[in-house]
């Protein structure tokens, strides 16, 4: 199997696992339902999914039989605490081994440092030979899709919203007021959180 075919399979499985099994519907789509030939074109393949130990991942792991029946694809699920997951993904990407085709992409500890190693899911979603994301991208809350799946631009899509964590950026305003000028000199940019803050900062 070619690298492209393998990536197409991973994209199909990731979209089906995440889009069909763990997400609540918010909207609709007129997308055609794929036939068995399209769904089962990679029957017999095994994909490895590494994830944080979350309830949605446990739900996916408990429902893999129906996914295997629908697609013929076997999925192995490895659930870890977030710190162990980040380390495992870093080692896998850094070594180039590629042991995991589907990754729980925490936006801060995985997406930010490793986004260049991930595949743009638009390539799979727009491929007429593969089933598209159930109910389409419009089924996701736009800000959540952007926060969970996009990085540095609005075009590439690296992940789909999965477990909806609420992240809060907290900081000591008094320390920024007291030491802000000194921090700016040392760092070369204004460290106060703002809409202009970059991932590199």
Structural domain contains residue 144: yes
Q: Are residues 122 and 182 in the same domain?
A: no
Highest mean pLDDT among 7-21, 70-84, 104-118: 70-84
Reading phi first (left if > 0) and then psi (alpha if -120 to 50, else beta), residue 127 is in beta
Q: Tell me the CATH number at 45.
A: 3.40.190
> Domain range spanning residue 201?
168-201
Is 109 in the same domain as 172? Answer: no
The phi and psi torsions of 111 (rounded to 5 degrees) equal -60, -50
Closest by Cα among 192, 108, 189 to 151: 108
Q: Give pLDDT tens digits for 133-159.
A: 888 999 998 888 888 888 888 899 999
Average pLDDT over residues 93-113: 90
The mean pLDDT of the chain is 81
pLDDT band at 193 (very low <50, low <70, confident <90, very high): confident
Instruction: Give the rounded distance of the alpha carbon of 22 from its chain centre.
Output: 13
Summarize the confidence of residues 38-52 as an average pLDDT.
93
Work out the average pLDDT over 162-190: 86
Three-class SS of residue 23? coil
143 & 177 share domain: no
**Do 197 and 105 share a structural domain?**
no
pLDDT at 66 over 90: yes
| Residue 132: DSSP 8-state | P
Structural domain includes residue 35: yes
Confirm if 74 and 46 have CB atoms less than 8 A apart. yes
Same domain, 94 and 192: no
154: in domain: no
The first and second tokens of residue 195, run together, are 């809409």
pLDDT at 27 over 80: no
Are 17 and 91 in the same domain? yes
pLDDT tier, 167 (very low <50, low <70, confident <90, very high otherwise):
low
- What average pLDDT score do residues 54-80 get? 94
- pLDDT at site 162: 81
- Domain total of the chain: 2
Nearest to 50 by CA among 162, 126, 165: 162
Please state the pTM of the whole predicted model: 0.67
Q: Tell me, yes or no, whether 60 and 24 share the same domain.
A: yes
The rounded distance, in Å, linking the Cα atoms of 150 and 159 is 7
Residue 158, token pair as written in the block = 């690296």
Do the domain assignments include residue 18?
yes
């Amino acid at each position: 199997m070619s690298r492209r075919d393998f990536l197409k399979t991973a994209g199909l499985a990731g979209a089906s696992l995440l889009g069909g099994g763990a997400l609540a519907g918010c909207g609709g789509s007129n997308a055609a339902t794929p036939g068995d030939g399209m769904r089962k074109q990679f029957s017999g393949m095994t994909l490895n999914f590494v994830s944080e130990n979350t309830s949605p991942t446990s739900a996916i792991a408990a429902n893999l039989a129906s996914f295997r029946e629908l697609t013929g694809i076997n999925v192995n699920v490895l659930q870890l605490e977030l710190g162990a997951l980040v380390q495992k993904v870093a080692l896998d990407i850094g070594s180039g081994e590629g042991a995991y085709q589907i990754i729980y992409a925490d936006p801060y500890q995985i997406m930010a440092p490793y986004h260049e190693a991930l595949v743009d899911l638009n390539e799979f979603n727009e491929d007429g030979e593969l089933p598209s994301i159930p109910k389409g991208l419009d089924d996701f809350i736009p800000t959540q899709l952007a926060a969970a799946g996009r990085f540095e631009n609005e075009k590439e899509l690296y992940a789909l919203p999965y477990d909806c964590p609420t992240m809060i950026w907290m900081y000591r305003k008094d320390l920024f007021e007291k030491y802000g000028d000194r921090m700016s000199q040392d760092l070369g940019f204004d460290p106060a959180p703002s809409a202009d803050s970059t991932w590199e900062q």
